[in-house]
Amino acid sequence: METYLDAMDIWEAVEEDYEIPPLPDNPTMAQIKNHKDKKIRKSKAKAYLFSAVSSLIFTRILSLKSSKDIWDYIKLEYEGDERIKGMQVLNLIRDFEMQKMKETETIKYYFERLLNIANRLRLFGSVFNDSRIVEKILVTVSERFEATITTLENTKDLSKITLAELLIALQAQEQRKVMRDEGNIEGALFAKPQDGGKNKKNKNKKNDESAPTVEVLMTNDKDLFKKLKPTTITKVKIGNSKYIPVQGKRTVAIPIHSGTKTVSKMLYVPEIDQNLLSVG
């Protein structure tokens, strides 16, 4: 707000709250112009301050005479005294320390979340260096970035790495993984799930070849599974007619370029060598 008022050439009218002396007898044109400019600046300052507050605050400052009185009231209302300001800073620092990257969010979104807190702290006058954000990211990002962080540790001085360098490095790994996952889904192989005899159809009924299929995705990436759930599918038959065991299932959210793809029937099959799309 202070910067805006300064840019409009009216900050002096707020900060100094100068008195406008009456014009002398037989004033010159320069004196008349200067007198008029000062009155206009004071009026503009009050008008800008009135327009910047909510209707509730406006009713409270309406009776104040000078723009400096209005400014002092607004600062106290929105920033509070030093004790309240200190409490707000402590709450923001505590919020920053508790942040942790979620498995389903992108590294860019996590960066923005931390930067938002840091910038709010800076608005309160706190010194909050980018190096502190770098340290926070290095120790709280998802485990899927561990390889990139290890590479950075071996090739760079992490105490001197910038936020931009760190973001570029982590985004590069994230984008490679997204492209790889999308490629595996688009080029998935077909396999037939087996239920271990638990859900067998009547043997006298002929199989309906035109029946609709149910798609599930299989993966050998255990990092996608926080907790495995039991499944009636105990093994799957892959392209070479070999059966391999299934160890569990769960719903998994996979980040892709257009957002997040939710796979409701992801099977954990350790022995496959790539992601497979299975049908039944």
52-108 per-position pLDDT tens digit: 777 888 888 888 888 888 888 887 776 666 777 788 889 999 999 999 998 888 899
The whole-number pLDDT of residue 226 equals 59
Q: What is the mean pLDDT of residues 109-134?
A: 89
DSSP letter for each residue of 46-88: HHHHHHTS-HHHHHHHTT--SHHHHHHHHHHHHH--HHHHHHH
Nearest CA to 47 among 64, 33, 67?
67
Q: SS3 of 252, please?
A: strand
Structure tokens at 223: 């990092």
Query: How far apart (Å, rounded) are the C-alpha atoms in residues 29 and 23?
Result: 11
Query: Element (H or E) spanning 112, and its range?
Result: helix 107-123
Order across the sheet with 248-256: list the strands: 243-245, 235-237, 190-194, 276-279, 215-219, 259-268, 248-256
Pick from 76, 73, 70, 83: nearest CA to 43: 70
- Return the pLDDT at 115: 92
Residues with Cβ within 8 Å of residue 58, at least 6 apart in sequence:
50
pLDDT band at 207 (very low <50, low <70, confident <90, very high): very low
What CA–CA distances, in Å, run from 201 to 207, 208, 212?
9, 11, 16
Burial (CB count <10 Å: 0-12, 13-18, 19+), residue 118: buried
The alpha-carbon radius of gyration of the chain (Å, integer) is 32
CA distance 66 to 13: 9
pLDDT in tens, 31-56: 888 888 888 888 888 888 888 777 88
Of 63, 139, 62, whose CA–CA distance to 100 is shortest?
Answer: 139
Taken as a whole, the chain contains a residue count of 280
